[in-house]
Structure 1
Amino acid sequence: MKLSKVFLLLLILPLFAFTVMHKYYISVTQINYIEDKQSVQITSRFFIDDFENALKENYDESIVLAEKDEAERFDSYINKYLKKRIELIINDKSVSFNFIGKEYDGDIIRCYLEVENVKSIESFSITNSVLFDLQSDQQNIVKMNINSKNKSFILTYDNPNALLKFN
């Protein structure tokens, strides 16, 4: 009896050795329009390792994020990468955002962006292709809170755009 259990274990064990864990590639971007400040405030959250790999591939192989002595030039790479991968159109006009800064929380990097002097929003469009250059199965979830309307979108490699109209 004991020999049959050992044989069964030896038969099943290799099956577990070849199972592959699937990693999910997801980011979350929260967009809030603060009407009294005439400001669109954006917080994007990414897994540090994925974001770091994108910066390494695009700019500098020596990048290591979330280190105590992190180089200041990394902020310029983050800003450059986000400006290349996020496009905002408000009221049918392309607008640029300011990179405010970043912070780390465990294995997450939060990037803070802002568009100033936005008097009103009749339409808001975002193209978010962050990390699509690394993973074609990346999904970028975008949550918008604009003009008291909440809407969420899942952006993919094949469909990186979201549009919200208020007419």
Structure 2
Amino acid sequence: MKRLAVIAAAVLAATALSIAPASAHAALQSSNPAENAVLDAAPDEVTLTFNQNVQQNFATVTVVGSDQSQWAASEPVVDGSTVTVDLDGLGAAGGYTIGYRVVSADGHPITGSIPFQLTQASPAATTPPATNLDFTNRAEPQATQDTEDSSGFPIWIIAVVVVAVGASGVLFALRKRTH
């Protein structure tokens, strides 16, 4: 019986420590242009698709050329899990980076960047558009995507409870056997 109780406690502890969170944060599923895409012509817009809905209020999308010029021509539009920003062409051929910061439905910020290449200068725009986008009080996108996968509730609390219950079961089994 003692051996069975110890095995049961070990199985409970291993299970508790291996449980993945049930509700992970939003993550980028796809983008248009895609990461590292090589384009012959400038796209009309940038579209980011996430695996969950994101909040409209805190979406920020930038499109920056290798000369640090900003090319987003509108505020981001959020439709559920899709974020779109219009472009007014792009500039010279070269590297561009889409930077984004959105807030998932559970309140966690998700940031990232998507590089792509333009092989031919855009005939529509040779200088960045004169936009007056207000990104006040919004964080600048970071170079990598936030990959935190917790559900907001610390998993270690569940593990401690399971271990405590398992240890109590072992102690109860040992106590019952000695009486």
Structure with greater Cα Rg: 2
TM-score interval, normalised by the smaller of the two chains = 0.3 to 0.5
Return the TM-score normalized by structure 2: 0.42
Give the strand-richer structure, 1 or 2. 1
Return the TM-score normalized by structure 1: 0.44
